[in-house]
């Protein structure tokens, strides 16, 4: 890392702590080694063997996110908490904006909606980067609106219809394989036609910070479904320039639905030939006590990159 980027990163961390401390959040430090890490199909933990003096030996993983532990804390009575620390993901592309180890900010607030989370995230980014965004509010765009605007597709007419999605993907010049799922084709269209246009103005000369929210329910992860249309989930990401900065949810608190999603993710990991492990039952037990809650995970290194105007995380 260059000295100026290290210094900027340090200043960014101080501002983040100031922001949350002034809003009476409690900073917590969750374990970095867990026996039951996150189940995300497209994220891979780093595994190691741990030993205890009593003779116990077992596999443990460096966390890809502190999400599970933070939600258990919410279930045990905490209301406003954040974790600012290193996370680890194996098989990352190492393309400048990804690294095997990175600094993650993750925060949760009870009695909070997705709209509350979006507003608070904008306040945080403006607080940290005080000179960049002084006039316009950040853009709010649903995934449905983004597909209509940039791909000329009506997503409502395609959700759950594999045949129609394949036909539209071919019309748009996408490669459609026999094993491609609906979500595979969604991502091909999104990556080729939409994502690179979200964080900029039309000629890509000025940042246009954009909250993209309300994703198809098949990509809900740990997000609650939209009560007005269960085909969608209350999930949001923020794009500024070429960077996707965060991934947030209005949190799912139904343990039955979450168990089903975990089982689906385990099945997908098996299909992809990836390692699997048991469901974290203590997390499921904590969910009913969370209630209405929203949380976000933000890449601190990327926030520093944005300020430094550098394309490289290191």
Tens of pLDDT, residue by residue over 280-292, are 999 999 999 999 9
Residue 309: pLDDT over 90: no
d(CA 196, CA 199): 7
57-62: strand order across its sheet? 33-34, 57-62, 46-51
How many other CB atoms are found less than 10 A from the CB of residue 148?
15
Burial of 68 per CB tally in 10 Å (0-12, 13-18, 19+):
buried
| SS3 label, residue 261 | helix
C-alpha 164/C-alpha 199 separation (Å) is: 29
Q: Find out whether 243 and 97 touch, Cβ atoms under 8 Å.
A: yes
Q: Which helix (H) or strand (E) is 76 found in, with range?
A: none
Q: Which of 60-69, 94-103, 193-202, 258-267 is least confident?
A: 94-103
Question: pLDDT tier at 94 (50, 70, 90 boundaries)?
Answer: low
pLDDT at res. 311: 76
Which backbone phi and psi does 293 adopt, to 5 degrees?
Answer: -155, 145
The answer to whether 238 and 246 are in contact (CB under 8 A) is: yes
Tell me what pLDDT residue 14 has: 97
| pLDDT for 4 | 85
pLDDT of residue 134: 61
Range 80-95 average pLDDT: 90
Non-local (6+) Cβ contacts of 206 within 8 A are 200
CA distance 170 to 248: 31
Count other C-beta atoms under 10 Å from residue 259's C-beta: 15
Helix H or strand E encompassing 245: strand 243-250
Residue 285 corresponds to which tokens in the numbers above? Answer: 């037990």
Tokens of 121: 């995230």
Lowest mean pLDDT among 24-28, 169-173, 302-306: 302-306
In tens, the pLDDT along 31-84 reads 999 999 999 999 999 999 999 999 999 999 999 999 999 999 999 999 999 999
Contact assessment for residue 58 and residue 238, using Cβ atoms and an 8 Å cutoff: no
* pLDDT score for 265: 95
- Return the beta strands (E) in 172-242 as ranges: 210-216, 232-240
Q: Model confidence over 163-197: pLDDT tens digits?
A: 999 999 999 999 999 999 999 999 999 999 999 99
Would you state the pLDDT for residue 221? 87
Alpha-carbon distance of 26 to 20, in angstroms, equals 8
The C-alpha angle with vertex 30 and arms to 25 and 31, in degrees rounded to 5, equals: 175
Say yes or no to pLDDT of 243 above 70: yes
Task: Say which residue, 146 or 137, is predicted with more confidence.
Answer: 146
State pTM to two decimals.
0.94
A 10 A CB-CB count for 16 gives 22
Contacts 24+ apart (CB under 8 A), 9-16: 9/103, 9/300, 9/301, 9/304, 12/128, 12/300, 12/303, 12/304, 12/307, 13/84, 13/103, 13/300, 15/127, 15/128, 16/84, 16/105, 16/124, 16/128, 16/300
- At 314 the pLDDT is 64
pLDDT at 135: 62
Q: Which helix (H) or strand (E) holds 196?
A: helix 195-198
Span 108-126, mean pLDDT? 97
Report the DSSP beta bridge partners of residue 60: 48
Q: What pLDDT does residue 197 have?
A: 95
> Is 249:234 a contact under the CB 8 Å cutoff?
yes
Looking at every residue in the chain, the average pLDDT score rounds to 94
Mean pLDDT for 16-24 is 98
């Amino acid at each position: 890392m260059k000295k100026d980027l290290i210094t900027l990163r340090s200043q960014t961390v101080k501002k983040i702590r100031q922001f949350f401390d002034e809003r009476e959040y409690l900073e917590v430090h969750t374990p970095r080694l867990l026996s039951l890490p996150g189940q995300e199909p497209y994220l891979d933990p780093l595994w190691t063997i741990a030993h205890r003096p009593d003779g116990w030996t077992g596999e443990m993983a460096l966390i890809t996110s502190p999400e599970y532990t933070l939600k258990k804390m919410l279930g045990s009575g905490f209301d406003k908490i954040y974790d600012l620390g290193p996370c680890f993901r194996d098989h990352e592309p190492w393309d400048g904006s990804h690294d095997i180890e990175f600094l993650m900010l993750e925060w949760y607030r009870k009695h909070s909606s997705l709209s509350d989370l979006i507003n608070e995230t904008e306040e945080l980014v403006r607080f940290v980067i005080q000179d960049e965004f002084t006039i316009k509010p950040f853009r709010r765009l649903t995934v449905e609106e983004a597909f209509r605007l940039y791909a000329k597709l009506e997503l409502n007419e395609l959700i759950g219809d594999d045949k129609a999605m394949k036909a539209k993907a071919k019309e748009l010049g996408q490669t459609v394989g026999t094993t491609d799922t609906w979500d595979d084709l969604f991502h091909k269209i999104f990556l080729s036609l939409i994502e690179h246009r979200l964080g900029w103005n039309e000629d890509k000369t000025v940042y246009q910070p954009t909250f993209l929210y309300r994703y198809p329910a098949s990509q809900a992860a740990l997000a609650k479904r939209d009560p007005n249309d269960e085909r969608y989930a209350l999930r949001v990401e923020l794009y500024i320039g070429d960077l996707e900065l965060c991934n947030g949810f209005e949190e799912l608190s139904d343990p039955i639905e979450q168990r089903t999603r975990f089982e689906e993710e385990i099945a997908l990991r098996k299909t992809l030939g990836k390692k699997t492990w048991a469901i974290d039952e203590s997390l499921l037990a904590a969910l009913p006590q969370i209630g209405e809650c929203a949380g976000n995970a933000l890449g601190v290194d990327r926030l520093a990159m944005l300020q430094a105007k550098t394309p490289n995380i290191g």
